[in-house]
């Protein structure tokens, strides 16, 4: 049995929900959320377990779980992935993740802040202006369009309809092609 199979078997056999924290010692965002994770692991002790997965020491497991960036936090219940978050998160967002794990539910969807929307929209306008003044440049205009969409994607009904299918399709190879 390889390391990934053993890890998956441990996940499936564990009686409590698990939050797996994929991290690395050199990763600044990983170090930034460690104190919050330690507090939440203590707060949810006996209801949700926190497993730390050093990406440098377990690259096969990280790849097998479909982790492309760190930090990545994945919620598991009896070996089934309920949801994940990538990147540094606020303690409030991490608490929502642990609370969802405790309930055996997927973590709530991420919400963009007004600042996030404004920053993305402003950057898109800047890229569009640059793309138009540069000749026009189709690549800059395309980048501006993608950036503008990233400011409103969570409110787009078409995106909400196709996003779950895209997530399943992108995760299949990491899970050995299983549906």
Contact 32, 88 (CB under 8 A): yes
Extended strands (E) in the chain: 18-23, 49-54, 72-77, 80-86
Which listed residue (27, 119, 141, 163) is catalytic?
27
Residue with tokens 């990280």: 62
Q: Cβ(60)–Cβ(2) under 8 Å?
A: yes
Active site residue 156: no
For the chain, the distance separating the N- and C-terminal CA atoms, rounded to the nearest angstrom, is 22
Catalytic residue (one of 30, 97, 101, 151)? 30
Residues 83 and 100: beta-carbon distance below 8 Å = yes
Catalytic residues: 27, 30
């Amino acid at each position: 049995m390889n390391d990934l199979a053993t890890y998956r078997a441990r996940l499936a056999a564990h009686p409590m929900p698990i939050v797996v924290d994929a991290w690395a010692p050199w990763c600044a965002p990983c170090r930034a959320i460690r104190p919050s994770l330690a507090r939440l692991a203590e707060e949810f002790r006996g209801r949700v377990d926190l497993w730390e997965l050093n990406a440098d020491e377990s690259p096969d497991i990280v790849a097998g779980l479909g982790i492309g960036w760190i930090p990545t936090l994945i919620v598991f219940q009896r070996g089934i992935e309920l949801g994940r978050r990538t990147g540094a998160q606020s303690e409030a967002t991490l608490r929502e993740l642990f609370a969802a794990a405790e309930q055996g539910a997927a973590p709530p969807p991420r919400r963009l802040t007004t600042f996030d929307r404004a920053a993305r929209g402003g950057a898109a306008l800047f890229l569009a202006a640059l793309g138009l003044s540069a000749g026009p440049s189709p690549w800059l205009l395309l980048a501006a369009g993608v950036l503008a969409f990233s400011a409103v994607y969570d409110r787009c009904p078409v995106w909400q309809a196709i996003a779950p299918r895209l997530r399943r399709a992108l995760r299949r190879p990491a899970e050995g092609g299983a549906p």
